[in-house]
Amino acid sequence: MTEQTKMGERIAWLSVILNLALGALKVAAGHFGGSHAVVADGVHSFSDVISGVVLGVAMRIAGKPKDADHPYGHGRVQSVAAKLIGLSVLFAGVKVGYDALRSIAAVTPGAPSLLALGASLGSFVVKEAMFRYKLALGKRIGSSAVVASAWHHRSDAWSSAVAVLGVAGAQVGIPFADSAAGLGVAALIVAMGVRITRQAVDELMDRSEPALVEAVIKSARRVSGVVRVSEVRTRSAGLSCLVDAEVEVCKKLTLEQAHHIAECVRETVCKEVPGVQEVFIHLDPASSENCKKCE
């Protein structure tokens, strides 16, 4: 297991413990404080527990070395984990929205207490801090699953902020403010779930990143002997990515000379372009228009 996957696994299990504590606190505070929005916010935190477990298991699997059955390694499991996290967020959003609609239909007089307000304020601070730390970590180690989990924390922070507004509104006498805030929480959660799931599906379908393709082309062109880079394809491999490149060289070169250029391209791209794990080179003979030496 690499140091990156160890870091990802540690933060995953830490977030599980944190979300269990926050979820229990907010559900209890919402129940005894009379706030449907805070209870909904607590349910969202419990959904974060699921994403934390998925992330922890995914990071453990991703850290396994490549084998005969998985020649490209196990890093792709992170895209699967990110998709599962996105779906869990979507499910939580639908459940919170359903509960909020029920609470509007059965609204009772009286405003939520300061207990509910304090729980949501504390949750907002903690979850925003977790989002910032996890997002920075996910980008540093190149993990889509950690980044997805970070955005789950951000959606929880937003839901806490909306819950604060709902409780505060109810306390100053705005009808249905708390229950309406529960619907707002649900909308934010669903939107975040759609975003996370879409990004995970893009990775699983090998959606190419134009900026990465351009960086690979620029790096390969700097290698002496490369006449033209005709095509570049990229695909995610968890913590890194794999690159397929078609490179044109002078057709008068020997096999040994052409192979040397291909190796130089591979080493240069892996060194210069962040996140590239391996480059597979397909050599083509350059046409006379592209290579003056081939005339």
Residue 169: enclosing H or E segment and its boundaries? helix 144-171
Residue spans of the domains in the chain: they are 3-204, 210-294
Give dist(CA 236, CA 205) in Å, integer: 9
Give dist(CA 104, CA 179) in Å, integer: 6
The pLDDT score that the predictor gives to residue 161 is 77
The pLDDT score that the predictor gives to residue 259 is 93
The pLDDT score that the predictor gives to residue 191 is 83
pTM to 2 decimal places: 0.62
The pLDDT score that the predictor gives to residue 290 is 63
The 10 Å CB-count burial string (b at 16+, else e) for 142-161 is bbbbbbbbbbbbbbbbbbbb
The set of residues, in sequence order, having a beta carbon less than 8 Å from that of 273 and lying 6+ positions away, is: 212, 215, 216, 219
pLDDT < 50 regions, the chain: 293-295
The pLDDT score that the predictor gives to residue 245 is 92
CATH superfamily of 3-204: Cation efflux protein transmembrane domain (1.20.1510.10)
CATH code at 210-294: 3.30.70.1350
The pLDDT score that the predictor gives to residue 109 is 53
The pLDDT score that the predictor gives to residue 175 is 60
The pLDDT score that the predictor gives to residue 269 is 92
